[in-house]
């Protein structure tokens, strides 16, 4: 089966030359500069992820994640700004379990039995002060 050539636009060709220049001067397996990734993302918005990933020899999944705004850095977690706890039945539960976790390692689990739930925000605030 003959290989199919993907048509490459002039703007992608210029960016491809920048990538090639960088690849000839840097060590293998080092990260690409963020500016080049962003240039690739801009080209992917215009011409499509597959075309740009193929032309620039970029990881398709990584480019797609960057295009959608998802961070690709490992180990970086965005903290929750708001968490809502909702009972499935709408009735008050007799037992509550909540876990607080922080990166890299501190965590706390609270298991509460009783008619009224504890003040979760106060518990979280106190835990953050201690773990902090």
pLDDT along the chain (132 residues), means of 10: 58 88 82 88 90 90 84 53 56 70 68 75 76 60
pTM: 0.47
- For the chain, the structural domain boundaries read 10-67, 77-132
Please, which residues bridge with residue 109 across strands? Answer: 99
- Give the residue from 73, 76, 64 showing the smallest Cα distance to 104: 76
- CA 23/CA 17 separation, integer angstroms: 10
Q: Which two tokens stand for residue 13?
A: 């060709």
- Could you tell me the CA-to-CA distances from 30 to 15, 23, 25, 122, 131 in Å, in that order? 19, 10, 11, 44, 34
């Amino acid at each position: 089966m003959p290989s199919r050539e993907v048509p490459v636009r002039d703007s992608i060709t210029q960016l491809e030359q920048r990538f090639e220049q960088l690849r000839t001067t840097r060590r293998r397996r080092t990260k690409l500069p963020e500016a080049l990734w962003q240039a690739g993302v801009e080209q992917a918005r215009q011409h499509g992820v597959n075309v740009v990933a193929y032309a620039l020899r970029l990881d398709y999944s990584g480019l797609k994640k960057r295009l959608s705004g998802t961070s690709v850095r490992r180990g970086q977690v965005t903290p929750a700004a708001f968490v809502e706890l909702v009972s499935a039945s709408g009735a008050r539960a007799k037992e509550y379990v909540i876990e607080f976790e922080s990166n890299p390692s501190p965590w706390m689990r609270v298991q509460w039995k009783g008619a009224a739930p504890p003040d979760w925000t106060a518990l979280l605030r106190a835990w953050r002060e201690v773990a902090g």
